[in-house]
Amino acid sequence: MEIIGLKTFKAVVDEDGIRGAAEKLHTVQSNITNRVKKLEDELDTKLFNLVGRKLQLTPSGQQLYQYACQIIQLEYQATAAILSNKGSYDLRIGMPETFAAVHMPMVLKQLKQKHPEIHLKIFTDTSDNLVQAVLDNKVDCATLGNAPDHEELIVIPIIKEQLVMVTPHDDNYEQVMFVREEGCGYRKRALLWQQEVGRGGEDLMVMSSADGILGCIAAGLGYTIMGQNMVVGSRYEKALAMQPVSHGQAYVQLSLVYRKDSPLSEGIGNLSQLFSH
């Protein structure tokens, strides 16, 4: 039983089919099919049944999936532990784009200077996707807002950021709330605030970047709820007004999260300590 076969099998389950697994593993669908067939031949059992147009795990497939997850996790831990013991290793850090722009530059510079043995690799995504990326070992750790309480994760609070209502400086704007896409921690807080103050009937405008949102607000197209540090220092700051939110949660807790079984906990701890300086 080869590790590539187990990774392929797990990808078929996680990505809900052959096509999704092929895209995730950057290969053709025939390779996925052949690897799964080889695994079934080795185990002399069917792992999937075709129900309509969807693959459904058999009881044997469900059992193998649990073991595959454990084996793949152990492979990652072994590789990471050995590389870190050699005195030079990669640390994959996930973060939302806005966090990368506002909070991370100086911290990453200090980490590079103080710990040259750590080679940084940066990945950006929404907070929700980053939680899953940590659990799936796609990144070693992630910085995100409102981290979930999860039995497999360690959560280290690093920054407490004030939530503010952002409007044009002249207070002349459309009754439209601008937010980021699904999965953004600030979006969740903004929508909760909107409901709590009785403005849930207003139009919603979704944009892919905080900079784009601030530009539209500066032009009088609407308002938003976001972290104060995302506005301070931006190119639109002088054209905007901020006031602390009047209802609900006043702050967003930004945290560093990683798996409890991570072999790179020392490097992650070095990173977390830099946020307190």
In this structure, the answer to whether residues 136 and 268 fall within a common structural domain is: yes
Single residue among 83, 101, 135 that ends a domain in this structure: 83
The CATH number of the domain where 67 resides is what? 1.10.10.10
| The predicted structure's pLDDT at residue 276 | 72
- Please indicate, yes or no, whether residues 77 and 96 belong to a single structural domain of this protein: no
Per the document, the length of the chain is 277
HSE, side-chain direction, 13 A CA sphere, residue 184: 23
Question: Greater confidence, 84 or 93?
Answer: 93
Q: How confident is the model at residue 241 (pLDDT cuts 50, 70, 90)?
A: very high
CB 224 within 8 A of CB 191: no
In terms of domains, do 70 and 11 share one?
yes
CB neighbourhood size of 52 (10 A):
6
Same-domain status, 110 and 48: no
Cβ-count burial of 74 within 10 angstroms (0-12 exposed, 13-18 middle, 19+ buried)?
exposed
pLDDT(238) > 70: yes
**Is the model's pLDDT at 137 over the cut of 60?**
yes
What confidence category does residue 48 fall into, taking pLDDT thresholds of 50, 70 and 90? very high
**Does residue 79 sit in the same domain as residue 210?**
no
Beta pairing partners, 143:
256
- Strand 89-95 relative to strand 118-124, pairing: parallel
pLDDT over 70 percentage in the chain: 100
Say yes or no: 101 and 149 in one domain. yes
Percent of the chain residues topping a pLDDT of 90: 60
How far apart are alpha carbons 168 and 240 in whole angstroms? 5
The whole-number pLDDT of residue 109 equals 92
Is residue 272 predicted with pLDDT exceeding 80?
Answer: yes
| CATH code of residue 167 | 3.40.190.10
Residue predicted with more confidence, 101 or 203: 203
* Alpha-helical regions (H) of 26-58: 29-43
Instruction: Indicate whether 147 and 184 sit together in one domain.
Output: no
Mean pLDDT, residues 47-71: 91
Is 167's pLDDT higher than 60? yes
pLDDT-based confidence at residue 277 (cuts at 50, 70, 90): low
**Taking a C-beta distance cutoff of 8 angstroms, is the pair 229, 102 a contact?**
yes
Number of domains in the chain: 3
Output the pLDDT for position 173: 94
What are the strands, taking DSSP E only, across the chain? 48-51, 54-57, 89-95, 118-124, 141-145, 153-168, 176-179, 203-206, 224-227, 240-244, 251-259
pLDDT per position as a tens digit, 213-225: 999 999 999 999 9
pLDDT score recorded for residue 257: 96
pLDDT at 165 over 60: yes
Per the prediction, the chain carries an average pLDDT of 90
Give the position of tokens 């850090």.
93
Q: What is the DSSP string of 164-185?
A: EEEEETT----SEEEE--TT-H
Instruction: Judge if 103 and 42 occupy the same domain.
Output: no
> Mean of the pLDDT values across residues 56-62?
94
Single-letter amino acid, residue 101: A
Same domain, 10 and 58: yes
Report the pLDDT averaged over residues 153-161.
93
Residue 258 lies in domain: 86-155+254-274
Check whether residue 268 and residue 193 sit in a common domain.
no
Per-residue pLDDT at 246 exceeds 70 = yes
Are 198 and 241 within one domain?
yes
Q: Which of 25, 50, 83 is the last residue of a domain?
A: 83
User: Are 57 and 7 contained in the same domain?
Assistant: yes
Per-residue pLDDT at 166? 96
Q: Which of 83, 118, 136 is the last residue of a domain?
A: 83
